[in-house]
Structure 1
Amino acid sequence: MSMHPQKHDAGMADFALDPAASFARPGDVLALVTSTDPWSPAAVAGSAIAARWGGNLTGCFIEPSARMLRDSEGEGGPAAPGRLAEPHADDVDAFAAFGSLARQSGVAAATWTTSGVGVAQTLRHLGAWHDLAVIERDMVAQSGLLDVLGEAILGCQLACLILPPRWNREIRFERVVIGCNGSLESIRAIHAAMPFLRMAKQVTLIDGDVRGSRNAYGRLPHFDPFVYLLRHHITARPQYIRASSDLAGDLLLKEARDGQVDLLVMGAYGQSPTRERFFGGATRQVLEGADIPVLMRH
């Protein structure tokens, strides 16, 4: 990808927001930028979100040679903090251009950095002081979607807005579908999505939780997603499903397509019985098949 700056082309992917809408709080937004000439979708969407949050923006360019590295392949090598640095002399132009993009979008404070380690290490490090990461799904090859990008999403403890491949349309969050099954992952995803849900004109909540959670010591406090949303003045249309994890992903994608949905919100489910991480069925299906932005949180 070219590292030469180019003035933002507003026609590529404008972030269409209701001027009357606002986010709940300032935030720190991270955009994993794959191209500066022209600016890739993550840079454009990330700058618009940061502007609406009244927050800060970080643009990070991961060196193409490092993007397909699995997390385990970085062990024993340089730690992420040592490979994430202020812009080098040959990157000054990109640093200045990113600041210009941010200012044009209305972002008060922006910074630029590069990374020579994999996506997982980069997200885990930068995620310590950011609230949201904007990521292009095709920043890694299809062969590395699950074991590279998926591994990064599961390990970063950060809300991730995943843009579908070659995304060049306006990003709207007027119609949102939430998938909730009562798990901690889905609850965290709803909490992370609150700024977007407040903007939405229509929210549909697909609830697969019918019993609540239990543990070895008795019944855990029950999280009712509808009550939680109502407390935040968000009225969601309820739908209930009973489906295995192998079918839940297809049902969420079908609902998103049939309802012309702009954003899908769901937890990122995974298991790690050894040193490996594996995606659950629904998460895998949505990550592979979604053609709209997806907000995921592990």
Structure 2
Amino acid sequence: MGIDPALSPHRPNDVVALVTSTDPWSPAATTGVALARQWGSRLTGCYVDPSLRTLSGADAEPTVLGLLIQAWDEDHGERAAFESLARASGVPDAAWAVTHTSVAPTLRQLGAWHDLAVLERDMVEGHALADILGETMLSCRIPCLILPPGWKGEVAFKRVLIAWNGSIESTRALHAALPFLEAAKDVILIDGERLNPEDLTGHPPRFDPITYLMRHRIAVKPHSIGGPHHLSGEKLLQEAVHLHADLLVMGAYGHSRTRERILGGATRHALQHAKIPLLMQH
């Protein structure tokens, strides 16, 4: 640990922030600026109108890229204001866009050329929260930093809790968290994996999270929790509070049914109730 984030080989080169307010700037905008400054990244701010935030991907037109490109000509000073905010904060390379479609297809398109998305959990409220943000995370293919309501905290996360259960989703989330972990003072790993004898033969090589982190010069403290072996969302949030974590890293678990993506229970609970930022990846 102690690696300069700007020199980290794992730092995101392109960060996108889904902005919900320009006056004042919403938490996703200010957090995106802070992370881009910390890592020396390029930054895109994308405004999503309130009328579009509760639409599902199936309700949106498919021509997202064209809408994003078209939106560059629709400017009422926000682009200049965002670029000014970024430059004043030490981010020289910043761009601004406005989308005319819903959150999931917008971020699915932007995710094609960005490495990290910053979102505000309360950009979607009520019963639609888990469905809309779940669809977004399960389809965008990049890690998402999800901020709790009213987030005004620092982006220098010092105590990071990783929830790992042996799944490909949790492994991807751990890998995506490397730039955060390299800058943290304490990294705590909850290993919820339970191996059966048949897991040891006839399968691809196992991923050992502690060995992996040590190879990246990240000191990690294993931590166990009681109760059922599975990592429930409620238990994870309780542990995050108990351990004074300021960032929780976990996989975004889900499955598909006809034209719809459904979040798993742990992901849904953490997404709805976490009081600290979540770094999630499907």
TM-score, normalised by the number of residues in structure 1: 0.87
- Give a deviation string over 1:15-71, Cα, whole Å, max 9, x none: xxx995545145100000000101100000101111111110000001221111011
Matched position secondary structure for 2:112: helix
Q: Which residue of structure 2 lines up, in the alignment, with residue 52 of structure 1?
A: 38
Cα contact 2:156–2:183 (8 A) shared by 1? no
Residues 1:243 and 2:210 aligned together: no
Cα contact 1:214–1:220 (8 A) shared by 2? no
Give structure 1 regions of 4+ aligned residues with deviation exceeding 2 angstroms.
Answer: 18-23, 85-90, 168-172, 212-215, 240-245
Q: Which residue of structure 2 lines up, in the alignment, with residue 192 of structure 1?
A: 176
Q: Which residue of structure 1 lines up, in the alignment, with residue 239 of structure 2?
A: 255
Q: Which residue of structure 1 lines up, in the alignment, with residue 263 of structure 2?
A: 279
Q: Which residue of structure 2 lines up, in the alignment, with residue 144 of structure 1?
A: 128
Question: 45, 54, 70: which is aligned to 2:56?
Answer: 70
Question: 102, 113, 127: which is aligned to 1:129?
Answer: 113
Q: Which residue of structure 2 lines up, in the alignment, with residue 31 of structure 1?
A: 17
TM-aligned CA deviation for residue 243 of structure 1: 3.0
Give me the whole-angstrom Cα distance separating, in 2, the residues matched to 1:56 and 1:214. Answer: 46
TM-aligned CA deviation for residue 172 of structure 1: 3.5
Cα contact 1:124–1:152 (8 A) shared by 2? yes
Give me the whole-angstrom Cα distance separating, in 1, the residues matched to 2:155 and 2:6. Answer: 16
In structure 2, the CA distance between the partners of 1:112 and 1:31, relative to structure 1 (3 Å rule), is: same
Residues 1:209 and 2:193 aligned together: yes
Residues 1:234 and 2:206 aligned together: no
In structure 2, the CA distance between the partners of 1:127 and 1:213, relative to structure 1 (3 Å rule), is: farther
Cα contact 1:22–1:199 (8 A) shared by 2? no
Cα contact 2:35–2:155 (8 A) shared by 1? no
Q: What amino acid sits opposite 1:115 in the alignment?
A: T
TM-score, normalised by the number of residues in structure 2: 0.92
- Give a deviation string over 1:196-221, Cα, whole Å, max 9, x none: 00000001000011328978x92121
Unpaired segments ≥5 residues, structure 2: none
TM-aligned CA deviation for residue 168 of structure 1: 2.2
In structure 2, the CA distance between the partners of 1:23 and 1:203, relative to structure 1 (3 Å rule), is: farther
**% of aligned pairs identical?**
53
Cα contact 1:212–1:222 (8 A) shared by 2? no
- Give a deviation string over 1:171-195, Cα, whole Å, max 9, x none: 4410000000011100000110000
Give me the whole-angstrom Cα distance separating, in 1, the residues matched to 2:3 and 2:39. Answer: 12
Q: What amino acid sits opposite 2:43 in the alignment?
A: L
- Give a deviation string over 1:89-142, Cα, whole Å, max 9, x none: 552410001001111121131100000101000010000000000000001122
In structure 2, the CA distance between the partners of 1:78 and 1:249, relative to structure 1 (3 Å rule), is: closer
Q: Which residue of structure 2 lines up, in the alignment, with residue 297 of structure 1?
A: 281
Give me the whole-angstrom Cα distance separating, in 2, the residues matched to 1:236 and 1:281. Answer: 27
Unpaired segments ≥5 residues, structure 1: 1-17
Residues paired across the two proteins, number = 277
Give me the whole-angstrom Cα distance separating, in 1, the residues matched to 2:96 and 2:144. Answer: 19
Cα contact 1:176–1:204 (8 A) shared by 2? yes
Matched position secondary structure for 2:77: helix
Q: What amino acid sits opposite 2:46 in the alignment?
A: C
Give me the whole-angstrom Cα distance separating, in 2, the residues matched to 1:86 and 1:99. Answer: 19
- Give a deviation string over 1:210-253, Cα, whole Å, max 9, x none: 328978x92121000000000011111102346365x6211210
Matched position secondary structure for 1:218: coil
In structure 2, the CA distance between the partners of 1:213 and 1:90, relative to structure 1 (3 Å rule), is: farther
In structure 2, the CA distance between the partners of 1:276 and 1:120, relative to structure 1 (3 Å rule), is: same
Give me the whole-angstrom Cα distance separating, in 1, the residues matched to 2:74 and 2:52. Answer: 19
In structure 2, the CA distance between the partners of 1:192 and 1:214, relative to structure 1 (3 Å rule), is: farther
Q: CA RMSD in A?
A: 2.1
Q: What amino acid sits opposite 2:77 in the alignment?
A: D
Q: Which residue of structure 2 lines up, in the alignment, with residue 81 of structure 1?
A: 65
Q: What amino acid sits opposite 2:53 in the alignment?
A: R
Question: 152, 162, 176: which is aligned to 1:178?
Answer: 162
